[in-house]
């Protein structure tokens, strides 16, 4: 039989998830700047006071969504690094993990993509720092793969931070092209294009 503490813990988690789900839905229909805590409360069918019991502001709500998504992505990317038998395979697996995440965790991917593309969104410095720390941890995994490649003799000496950023820009930029399979990519294949870009990036790293 479920105890009182366990029941309360589940109820709190359910309310918290209710708020986050409502905020996510409003984010994509209205945009962050057009949303208020009152609207989130109405969408979640909760009292405004309940929202503030869990979160200090609407920005904190969306920051939590961003952090949850980045944490899931970090776990996937870390597993890809560990599965690779060498640095080249690790980069391929990381690229595949990112593509899989964009499909399997679409809600989280859309939140991450929203805030990356919405330059007018402003977070408080402490919230932005929290989000940036999650993003930096993902880049550090890519950097580790690049350093491993240099040590293994597969890759030439390089600025691993800059190349990790470039790798991530390539992946993030190509994923949305999946929606253009019947237009811009007509006659081509999105997966083939994605793989070609990853191969081309890795080929450019090879030691001579």
CATH number of the domain at 165, please: 1.10.357.10
Contacts of 17 (CB under 8 A, 6+ apart): none
Residue 208 in any domain: the answer is no
Name the helix (H) or strand (E) containing 100. Answer: helix 87-104
Q: HSE on the CB side for 180, CA within 13 Å?
A: 11
Q: Where in the sequence is the domain holding 38, given as residue range(s)?
A: 1-55
Task: With beta carbons less than 8 A apart as the criterion, state whether 111 and 27 touch.
Answer: yes
Residue 144 in any domain: the answer is yes
Task: With beta carbons less than 8 A apart as the criterion, state whether 80 and 94 touch.
Answer: yes
Phi, psi of 206 (to 5 degrees): -60, 140
pTM, two decimal places: 0.83
Q: How many domains does the chain have?
A: 2
Identify whether residues 51 and 67 lie together within a single domain: no
For each of the chain's 208 residues, which pLDDT tens digit applies?
567 778 888 889 999 999 999 998 888 888 777 889 999 999 999 999 999 999 998 888 888 888 888 999 999 999 999 999 999 999 999 999 999 999 998 888 888 887 777 655 667 777 778 788 888 999 999 999 999 999 999 999 999 999 999 999 999 988 887 766 665 556 678 788 899 999 999 999 998 7
Cα 18 → chain centroid: 21
Identify whether residues 96 and 167 lie together within a single domain: yes
Identify whether residues 49 and 67 lie together within a single domain: no
Tokens of 99: 């593509």
DSSP state of 186: T
């Amino acid at each position: 039989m479920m105890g009182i503490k366990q029941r309360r813990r589940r109820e709190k988690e359910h309310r918290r998830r209710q708020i986050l789900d409502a905020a996510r839905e409003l984010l994509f229909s209205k945009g962050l700047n057009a949303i208020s805590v009152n609207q989130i409360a109405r969408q979640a069918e909760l009292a405004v006071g309940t929202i503030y019991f869990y979160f200090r502001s609407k920005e904190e709500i969306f920051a939590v969504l961003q952090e949850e998504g980045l944490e899931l992505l970090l776990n996937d990317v870390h597993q890809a690094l560990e599965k690779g038998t060498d640095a080249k395979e690790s980069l391929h697996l990381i690229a595949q993990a990112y593509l899989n995440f964009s499909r399997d965790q679409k809600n989280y991917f859309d939140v991450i993509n929203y805030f990356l593309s919405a330059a007018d969104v402003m977070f408080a410095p402490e919230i932005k720092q929290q989000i940036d720390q999650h993003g930096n941890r993902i880049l550090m995994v890519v950097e580790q793969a690049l350093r491993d490649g240099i040590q293994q003799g597969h890759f030439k000496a390089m600025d691993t931070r800059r190349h990790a950023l470039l790798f991530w820009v390539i992946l993030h930029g190509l994923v949305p092209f999946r929606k253009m399979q019947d237009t811009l990519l007509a006659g081509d294949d999105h997966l083939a294009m994605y793989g070609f870009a990853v191969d081309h990036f890795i080929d450019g790293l090879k030691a001579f």
